[in-house]
Amino acid sequence: MKTVITYGTFDMFHIGHLKLIQRLKKLGDKLIIAVSTDEFNELKGKKTIIPFDQRAEIVENIKGVDLVIPEKSWEQKIEDIKKYNVDIFAIGDDWKGKFDFLKDYCEVIYLPRTESISTTEIKQYIATSKHLKKD
């Protein structure tokens, strides 16, 4: 049985998130998603719209996701790989090369992002959309 793990914020869940999860599930038999906590996102300089508990609940209810765990720090990845007997660490290719150090513990795969969609772009669109602003 092959176990796959990924990490992410999964704020404002969109089709790019869904496509990523579908691709991840095809890599193995068990899929673990580590959802970044609000506190960890603050440390990364990220502001989330949806609170952690809601983001985790959304992700754990997506078909193909077998387990959701909290991501609390950068350092936990090696511990998680060992704890859950992970065979594949996979993440979007915007992180290409950043997690190569995990190759000592499992296979590392960088997957292409879904084109024309990102949470950052959605947030920017909302922030700058005149039709959404109150007069």
| pLDDT for the residue 94 | 86
Rounded mean pLDDT of 91-97?
A: 91
3-state DSSP of the chain: CCEEEEEECCCCCCHHHHHHHHHHHHCCCEEEEEEECHHHHHHCCCCCCCCHHHHHHHHHCCCCCCEEEEECCCCHHHHHHHHCCCCEEEEEHHHCCCCHHHHHCCEEEEECCCCCCCHHHHHHHHHHCHHHCCC
Residue 41's pLDDT is what?
93
Domain annotation for the chain: domains and CATH numbers: 3-132 (3.40.50.620)
Q: Which residues are catalytic?
A: 44, 46
Q: What is the pLDDT of residue 26?
A: 96
Reported as a single tens digit per residue, the pLDDT across 29-83 is 999 999 999 999 999 998 888 999 999 999 999 999 999 999 999 999 999 999 9
Check residue 122 and give its pLDDT: 54
